[in-house]
Amino acid sequence: MRGRLRHERTQPWSVTGGRAPARLSRLSLRDWHLPLLAVGAFIFARLSGGALPWFLFYAVTGLLLVSWLWTRHLLRNLACRWDIPSNSLTVGETSEVRLRLYNESWLPATWLEATHQAALGEGSSLAGAVPSLGSLVLTLPVTAARRGFFPAGRLDVALGDPLGVFTARRLLVSDRHLTVYPRALRVGRLPLALRQPYGHTRTHRHAQEDLTSVAEVRPFRTGDSPRRIHWKATAHRGELQVREYELAATTEVHLILDLYGRGHHGDGPDSSLERSVEVTASLARTILEQGLAVGVVGHGAKRLTVPPGRGLRQLRRILESLVAVQADGVLPLAHALAGESRSFSPRSTVIVVTAALGRDLVASLLTLRGEGHGLLVAAVRPGGPAEDEWAAALGALQAESIPTLVVHEAADLVPHPLSPAGVRV
């Protein structure tokens, strides 16, 4: 692929990235005609003598030396800069990377060939001449096809002197990196059970009052807190009045991402792991937009933990934590949940995102429900031989009236009703 190329005249300046180590540079002989001519002129001068043969030898040798110094000087004064509009992209997003190749020498590069090797998108190539103190600009389209951390790219450059005697090669590596986040789509409807009671009935549950929402003002009763006294209403009515606040319905949500290595299938963007990651990000976004607190836990080679929180900053923390996760866990999720339940807050909601449904996991989920936690299972269809066991476990979940999201493709997170116990995504 070839990008858009143009020349620019510029003054020498310091570039912040792209300078390659010296070990990645080399200078070699491209054309042997001039060196052979110098050797022949030397032999001829030695055999015949005289001023003219020696002048011919010195002239050819001088040209050879000038060509070598020219090429070496260009090599030392070559630099590259990658201009990136944003250091972060989302899977499926397209951007442009502007690559500037600078000749900071007073000597022109009469010919130059460069091949750009991109970590994202297709590579590209360019060829041309770069004037003294000038540059070439190449604009490259970049499409983020998968999540992760990627270098902006590297440029393999070949250039030489005007006579084409020597060739210098240099590998310029960018110090700029791109972060590709998983997509966080919006799920239209989630069967979340809000764990906080409504109303004013006495209850053994700990309720949270919404101090921004006054339900009513009533006369003072024995046992009311003095902090609730509404002094303006008291002065107006001539007797003590207190505020009665509404009770807010809320829950703390824990997203559990299954990172068990043997529980995932497929490679690349269509693998069950990538679908699971995208579903986790989408659920986090949707729940945070409802004003609830969300945290993420994953049991991989390194434990993934994002404590529950609210707001846009929490969404960014979750997305950043999901950028590099891999299915490298050695502990099945059913066993991990047994130890994880102790860290859940009382009567919280647990959402499990997994492609490895089985009888053991169903039993662990029923135990969590028995402890008073709300449940939701996002079941990613694995495909392959594991699908029969997955389907049987899904049926067991629905028989126990545990809400489920059946995920066929993470690219489409628009829910459609499947049954009272399940929602097909």
Q: What's the mean pLDDT in 353-374?
A: 86
Split into its structural domains, the chain has a count of 3
At 399, list the tokens.
């028989």
Domain stop point among 140, 163, 181:
181
Strand ranges (E), 148-251 = 148-151, 154-160, 166-173, 177-181, 208-219, 241-248
Alpha carbon distance 324, 259 (integer Å): 12
At 221, list the tokens.
């009763």
Residue range 237-287, pLDDT digits in tens? 888 888 876 545 556 889 999 998 888 888 877 788 988 999 999 999 988
Q: Is the pLDDT of residue 103 over 70?
A: yes
In a domain, 195, yes or no: no
What is the pLDDT, as a whole number, of residue 353?
92
What is the pLDDT, as a whole number, of residue 118?
67
In a domain, 57, yes or no: yes
Confidence of residue 120 (pLDDT cuts 50, 70, 90): low
The CATH number that applies at residue 271 is 3.40.50.410
The DSSP code for 394 is H
Confidence of residue 114 (pLDDT cuts 50, 70, 90): confident
Q: Are residues 10 and 118 in the same domain?
A: yes
Domain stop point among 166, 181, 196:
181
In a domain, 148, yes or no: yes
Q: What's the mean pLDDT in 93-104?
A: 83
Q: Is the pLDDT of residue 73 over 70?
A: yes
Q: Is the pLDDT of residue 61 over 50?
A: yes
* 95-99, 116-120, 148-152: least confident range: 116-120
Q: Are residues 219 and 259 in the same domain?
A: no
In terms of C-beta distances under 8 Å and separation of at least 24 residues, what long-range contacts does 195-204 make, across chains too? 195/250, 195/251, 195/347, 195/348, 195/349, 195/374, 196/247, 196/248, 196/249, 196/250, 196/251, 197/247, 197/249, 198/247, 198/249, 199/247, 200/244, 200/247
More confident of the two residues 216 and 227: 227
Residue range 188-226, pLDDT digits in tens? 767 665 444 433 333 334 344 545 555 578 888 877 778
At 378, list the tokens.
């996002």
Of 16-20, 23-27, 253-257, highest mean pLDDT? 253-257
Q: Are residues 233 and 332 in the same domain?
A: no
Q: What is the mean pLDDT of the chain?
A: 77
Report CA Rg, the chain. Answer: 34
In a domain, 198, yes or no: no
Q: Is the pLDDT of residue 351 over 70?
A: yes
Phi/psi for 406 (5° steps) reads -95, 110
What is the pLDDT, as a whole number, of residue 201?
34
Q: Is the pLDDT of residue 310 over 50?
A: yes
Q: Are residues 221 and 256 in the same domain?
A: no
What is the pLDDT, as a whole number, of residue 20?
36
In a domain, 239, yes or no: yes
Q: Are residues 138 and 11 in the same domain?
A: yes
Residue range 365-422, pLDDT digits in tens? 888 888 888 888 888 877 656 677 888 888 888 888 888 888 775 444 544 333 333 3
What is the pLDDT, as a whole number, of residue 361?
87
Confidence of residue 316 (pLDDT cuts 50, 70, 90): very high
In a domain, 263, yes or no: yes
Q: What's the mean pLDDT in 17-30?
A: 54
In a domain, 192, yes or no: no
More confident of the two residues 339 and 354: 354
List Cα–Cα distances, 341 to 6, 158, 295, in angstroms.
60, 60, 14
Q: Are residues 304 and 221 in the same domain?
A: no
Alpha carbon distance 44, 31 (integer Å): 21
| Residue 144 belongs to domain spanning | 4-181
What is the pLDDT, as a whole number, of residue 256?
92
What is the pLDDT, as a whole number, of residue 250?
55
Q: Are residues 158 and 256 in the same domain?
A: no
What percentage of residues in the chain have a pLDDT greater than 90? 9
In a domain, 197, yes or no: no
Q: Are residues 13 and 154 in the same domain?
A: yes
Q: What's the mean pLDDT in 283-311?
A: 89
More confident of the two residues 352 and 191: 352
Domain stop point among 219, 248, 277:
248
Q: Are residues 262 and 374 in the same domain?
A: yes
Confidence of residue 24 (pLDDT cuts 50, 70, 90): low
Q: Are residues 240 and 350 in the same domain?
A: no
What is the pLDDT, as a whole number, of residue 423?
35
Q: Are residues 267 and 124 in the same domain?
A: no
The CATH number that applies at residue 15 is 2.60.40.10
Phi/psi for 301 (5° steps) reads -60, -35
Q: Are residues 242 and 259 in the same domain?
A: no
